[in-house]
C-alpha cells in the first residue's frame, strides 16, 4: 500500500460492469469481503495511514480505527457487521516487527476488541451472520499462533492438527463449522466442528491425486472452497459433503 511502486484499486463488478471503489484520499485500495446486499469491505489509503472501509450504494466510508494508526476490513456479514484488524499501539513489538494488531468486531460504529489467546496480537479473517469471527491469534510469548473462533464474547483456541505448530482459521458458517489451514511439515486444510479439528485430506480418497492445502470458506450446506495441489499442479477446489446413510 503506502510506498508501493504500483497503484491498486478495489473494484466491484455488477450489472453495470466494473466499478472502481476509489480510496480514502490516498492512491490504493483493496477489497476483501462482500455480503448479499453488495456491501464491500477492505482497506484503503488515506494521506498518511491505512483504514478499513465499507462501500455501500456507491459511497466509500472510512470505518476509522479504535486506537493506534492503521485498520483494515476483512469480512462483512448480512447484518452489516465487519471483522476488522487494527493497531492497538504505536510502539513496535520486537517479536512481530510492528505495533500489535488486534481483531475487532465493528457494529454500527462501535468497536469490540476480540482479544488474543494470551499473546499480544490477533487477526480477523472471516465471520458469519451471527457475528462470530474467526482468524488467528498469538499465544503467550508471541512465538505461536493458533486459529480461533470468537463467539458469545469468548475467543476459543481451535488448536492445530497433530504434529503441527500453527494454524489460521479463514471461514465460518452459521453452524460454527470453521475451516482454515494448519501448518507443519506441509500445510493442510482443516475443518473444525463440535470442538474437533479434522484434516480435510482424511475425508477424500487417497487415490484422488489431491493434497488440500488451504480451506478458505464454508457455506451453510457445508461446502468448502480453497486451494490445493492436484497431481502436482496448484488448483482451486470445491469440496461437497456426501449424503450420510
For the entire predicted model, the pTM comes to 0.93
Burial 25-54 (b: 16+ CB within 10 A, else e): ebebbbbbbebeeebbbbbbbbeebbbbbb
Backbone angles phi, psi at 63, to 5 degrees: -85, -5
What is the DSSP track for 38-100? Answer: --EEEEEE-SSSEEEEEEETTEEEEEE-SSSS-EEEEEE-TTS-EEEEEEEEEEEETTTTEEE
Q: Cα separation of 74 and 82, whole Å?
A: 7
* pLDDT band per the 50, 70, 90 thresholds, residue 245: very low
Backbone angles phi, psi at 232, to 5 degrees: 85, 0
Give 244's DSSP letter: P
All structural domains of the chain with their residue ranges: 11-159
Instruction: Give the homologous superfamily in CATH for domain 11-159.
Output: Peptidase/esterase 'gauge' domain (2.130.10.150)
Q: Cα separation of 111 and 122, whole Å?
A: 15
What's the pLDDT at 5? 58
- The neighbour count for residue 238, using CB atoms within 10 Å, is 8
Over residues 162-169, mean pLDDT: 97
- Provide the phi-psi class of 194: left if phi over 0, else alpha when psi is between -120 and 50, else beta: left
Lowest model confidence (mean pLDDT) among 27-31, 95-99, 144-148, 233-237: 95-99
Amino acid at each position: 500500500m503506502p510506498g508501493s511502486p504500483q497503484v491498486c484499486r478495489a473494484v466491484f463488478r455488477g450489472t453495470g460492469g466494473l466499478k472502481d471503489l476509489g480510496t480514502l484520499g490516498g492512491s490504493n485500495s483493496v477489497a476483501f469481503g462482500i455480503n448479499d446486499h453488495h456491501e464491500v469491505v477492505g482497506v484503503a489509503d488515506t494521506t498518511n495511514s491505512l483504514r478499513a472501509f465499507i462501500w455501500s450504494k456507491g459511497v466509500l466510508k472510512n470505518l476509522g480505527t479504535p486506537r493506534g494508526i492503521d485498520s483494515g476490513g476483512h469480512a462483512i456479514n448480512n447484518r452489516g457487521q465487519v471483522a476488522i484488524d487494527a493497531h492497538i499501539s504505536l510502539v513496535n513489538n520486537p517479536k512481530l516487527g510492528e505495533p500489535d494488531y488486534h481483531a475487532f468486531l465493528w457494529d454500527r460504529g462501535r468497536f469490540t476488541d476480540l482479544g488474543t489467546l494470551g499473546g499480544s496480537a490477533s487477526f480477523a479473517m472471516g465471520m458469519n451472520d451471527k457475528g462470530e469471527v474467526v482468524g488467528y491469534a498469538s499465544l503467550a510469548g508471541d512465538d505461536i499462533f493458533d486459529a480461533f473462533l470468537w463467539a458469545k464474547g469468548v475467543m476459543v483456541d481451535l488448536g492445530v492438527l497433530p504434529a503441527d505448530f500453527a494454524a489460521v482459521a479463514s471461514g465460518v458458517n452459521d453452524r460454527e463449522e470453521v475451516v482454515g489451514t494448519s501448518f507443519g511439515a506441509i500445510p493442510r486444510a482443516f475443518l473444525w466442528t463440535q470442538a474437533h479439528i479434522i484434516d480435510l485430506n482424511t475425508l477424500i480418497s487417497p487415490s484422488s491425486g489431491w493434497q488440500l492445502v488451504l480451506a478458505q470458506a464454508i457455506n451453510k450446506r457445508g461446502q468448502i472452497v480453497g486451494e490445493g495441489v492436484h497431481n502436482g499442479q496448484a488448483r482451486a477446489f470445491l469440496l461437497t459433503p456426501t449424503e450420510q446413510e
